[in-house]
């Protein structure tokens, strides 16, 4: 199910480390952002979302940070585990629309 | 709770044949999205529906592609005739239209190979 570009950025970390995956978005009018995780042979799985009226949101072991000034989104994963190995996509949605625009993805490799 | 269900999971067929991909939405969801994912182009939105009505089909590659929602919980994506360049993984996703923005939830896709 992986379908990423040939030059997919890859982040390699050790088990137990904290991971930070970054994403630059394009539309300053976007009002909603989502992070997805995609494992091999599966569809993108919703992780966490954030609305543009917030700059930080926390979930279980994950935190999303939004910097609207520089149009930057990041996903922080605490105490990364081998099961976190996957491709991570950010997606943005413009005001008034339902279409999501997906980034190209980042591959996270977690070594035991 | 059952997620989005797609069938078949894999399809291999010869070029020129008709291909039909199926999707069952999550119960209570009323927006449906069809995506195509390839190595070179990533995840592309093909078409999306709200309440069974197609809203935006600008991503549909050409007239060989068509999508329908015969009822509120089911959709089909048809390719006729199929071509080798249609080979990809096809995903559908659904979302609810509750207050504010809602995430899309994806099925596990149909891996399509056109020989």
Mutate to test the interface with A, among B104, B107, B111, B113 (most CBs of A within 10 A): B104
The answer, yes or no, to whether residue A4 has pLDDT greater than 80, is no
Q: What is the pLDDT of residue A59?
A: 95
* Mean of pLDDT values over B84-106: 88
Cβ of B106 within 8 Å of Cβ of A43? The answer is yes
On the question of a cis peptide bond just before residue A23, with omega within 30 degrees of 0, the verdict is: no
Cβ of A1 within 8 Å of Cβ of B37? The answer is yes
Q: What is the pLDDT of residue A21?
A: 97
Cβ of B91 within 8 Å of Cβ of A43? The answer is yes
Cβ of A102 within 8 Å of Cβ of B42? The answer is yes
Collect all residues with Cβ–Cβ distance below 8 Å to A1 and sequence separation of at least 6.
A38, A39, A40, A41, A42, A43, B37, B89, B108, B109, B111
Residue A78: count other Cβ atoms within 10 Å of its Cβ.
14
The answer, yes or no, to whether residue A3 has pLDDT greater than 50, is no
Q: What is the pLDDT of residue A1?
A: 34
The answer, yes or no, to whether residue B97 has pLDDT greater than 90, is no
Q: What is the pLDDT of residue B86?
A: 97
* Mean of pLDDT values over B78-101: 90
Average pLDDT of chain B, as a whole number = 93
Residues of B in contact with A59 (CB under 8 A): none
pLDDT digits (tens, 9 = 90+) for A82-96: 999 999 999 998 766
Q: Cα separations (Å) of A65 from A10, A98, B53?
A: 20, 22, 35
Average pLDDT of chain A, as a whole number = 90
Cβ of A44 within 8 Å of Cβ of B48? The answer is no
Top-confidence residue, A4 or B102: B102
pLDDT digits (tens, 9 = 90+) for A16-54: 999 999 999 988 889 999 999 999 999 999 999 999 999
In this complex, the residue of A5, A46, A105 whose CB is nearest that of residue B40 is A5
Q: How confident is the model at residue B100 (pLDDT cuts 50, 70, 90)?
A: low
Q: What is the pLDDT of residue A57?
A: 97
Q: Cα separations (Å) of A32 from A27, A68, A90, B5, B92?
A: 11, 11, 11, 26, 20
pLDDT digits (tens, 9 = 90+) for B11-64: 999 999 999 999 999 999 989 999 999 988 889 999 999 999 998 899 998 899
Q: What is the pLDDT of residue B92?
A: 97
Q: How far is A37 from chain B (nearest CA, A)?
A: 11
Give the closest residue to B8 by CA, choosing from B64, B62, B89.
B89
């Amino acid at each position: 199910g992986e379908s990423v570009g040939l030059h997919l950025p890859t982040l390699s970390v050790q088990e137990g480390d904290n991971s930070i995956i970054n994403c630059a978005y394009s539309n300053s009018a976007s009002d909603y952002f989502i992070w997805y995780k995609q494992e091999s042979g599966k569809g993108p799985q919703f992780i966490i979302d954030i609305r543009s009226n917030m700059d930080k949101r926390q979930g279980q072991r994950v935190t999303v940070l939004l910097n609207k000034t520089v149009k930057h989104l990041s996903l922080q994963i605490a105490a990364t585990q081998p099961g976190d190995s996957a491709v991570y996509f950010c997606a943005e949605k413009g005001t008034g629309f339902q279409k999501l625009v997906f980034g190209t993805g980042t591959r996270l490799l977690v070594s035991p | 709770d059952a997620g989005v269900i797609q069938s078949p999971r894999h399809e291999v067929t010869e070029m020129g044949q008709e291909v039909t991909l199926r999707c069952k939405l999550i119960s209570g969801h009323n927006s449906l999205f069809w995506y195509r994912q390839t190595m070179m182009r990533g995840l592309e939105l093909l078409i999306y529906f709200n309440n069974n009505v197609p809203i935006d089909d600008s991503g549909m590659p050409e007239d060989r592609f068509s999508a329908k929602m015969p009822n509120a919980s089911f959709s089909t994506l048809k390719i006729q005739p199929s071509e080798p360049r249609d080979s990809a993984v096809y995903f559908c996703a659904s979302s609810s239209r509750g207050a504010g923005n809602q995430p899309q939830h994806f099925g596990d896709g149909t891996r399509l190979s056109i020989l």
